[in-house]
């Protein structure tokens, strides 16, 4: 299927590693020009070089997403070079485990890192998105609807992201701009792998994690998240907006009984 993304200018925050890297690669494979906004220039350059060898166009911009002066400057660089922005993917952020035991200042900092920077980026790309009749894809988290425990800052940020997805979809619909949120549950990223490696038995911890996912008893891949993002961002999904799309193997919405080793359904 031709997703009609060739030569589209796509901005992906945190686009050099984990889910963000998979998203960058998926857009680049479709012929889009991907502009990574990230804090680690080395990671960005490595991905740029890797994609260039495949004939794909990826650019890296050194941006700390909590730097409210750097964001508009980087956006201006993209517009000066390409003259347009068609898609913005709000992917940057991380579960910082800011809990009720943390100082309120830590909670505010978590919001700055995980949701305020998303608002700032859309604020500064807004006119370009309207001009292009583009779209916004937010990358959410299961904890926005399930809770997780010990992570008030991240959960609040991702809950706000769900609300802003609907708010922005309503606000921008009259301009032809679509806004959607893709929500993962358990995805094995380098960060998650490091966390699992700290377990007394990393292999057993991974197997236990897999069992929490009803469909196929496995974690979702970063590529499965990326494929959904790319499709929803494409003209092939032209009447989809304001949606919270769970790509999680049924983790959030299917009964926990589905993860048990026996089933009430028997083959005939």
Q: Measure CA of the first residue to CA of the last residue in the chain; give whole Å.
A: 37
Token output for 111: 């919001």
Nearest-CA neighbor of 121 among 156, 168, 163, 83?
168
CB 66 within 8 A of CB 114: no
> Residue 58 in 3-state DSSP?
strand
The rounded distance, in Å, linking the Cα atoms of 106 and 191 is 21
> Residue 183 forms beta bridges with which residues?
246
DSSP alpha helix (H) spans, 11-133: 18-29, 41-52, 70-82, 104-111, 117-132
CB 58 within 8 A of CB 36: yes
The rounded distance, in Å, linking the Cα atoms of 201 and 203 is 6
Q: Which residues are catalytic?
A: 154
Nearest-CA neighbor of 225 among 166, 177, 185, 165?
185
């Amino acid at each position: 299927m031709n997703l009609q993304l060739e030569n589209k200018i796509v901005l992906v925050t945190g686009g050099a590693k984990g889910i963000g890297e998979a998203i960058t690669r998926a857009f680049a494979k479709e012929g889009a020009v991907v502009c990574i906004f990230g804090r680690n220039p080395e990671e960005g350059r490595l991905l740029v070089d890797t994609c260039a060898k495949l004939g794909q166009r990826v650019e890296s911009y050194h941006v700390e997403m909590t730097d409210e002066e750097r964001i508009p400057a980087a956006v201006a660089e993209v517009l000066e070079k390409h003259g347009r922005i068609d898609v913005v993917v709000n992917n940057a952020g991380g579960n910082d485990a800011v809990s009720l035991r943390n100082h309120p200042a830590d909670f505010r900092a978590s919001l700055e890192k995980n949701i305020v920077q998303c608002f700032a980026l859309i604020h500064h790309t807004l006119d370009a998105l309207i001009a292009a009749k583009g779209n916004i894809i937010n990358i959410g988290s299961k904890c926005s609807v399930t809770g997780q425990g010990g992570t008030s800052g991240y959960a609040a940020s991702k809950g706000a992201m769900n609300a802003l997805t609907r708010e922005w979809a309503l606000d921008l619909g009259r301009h032809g701009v679509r806004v959607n949120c893709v929500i993962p549950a358990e995805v094995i990223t380098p960060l998650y792998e490091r966390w699992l490696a700290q377990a007394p038995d990393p292999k057993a911890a991974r197997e236990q994690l897999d069992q929490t996912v009803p469909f196929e008893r496995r974690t979702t891949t970063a590529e499965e998240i990326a494929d959904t993002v790319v499709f929803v961002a494409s003209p092939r999904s032209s009447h989809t907006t304001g949606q919270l799309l769970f790509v999680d193997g049924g983790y959030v919405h299917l009964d926990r009984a589905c993860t048990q080793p026996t089933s009430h359904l028997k083959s005939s």
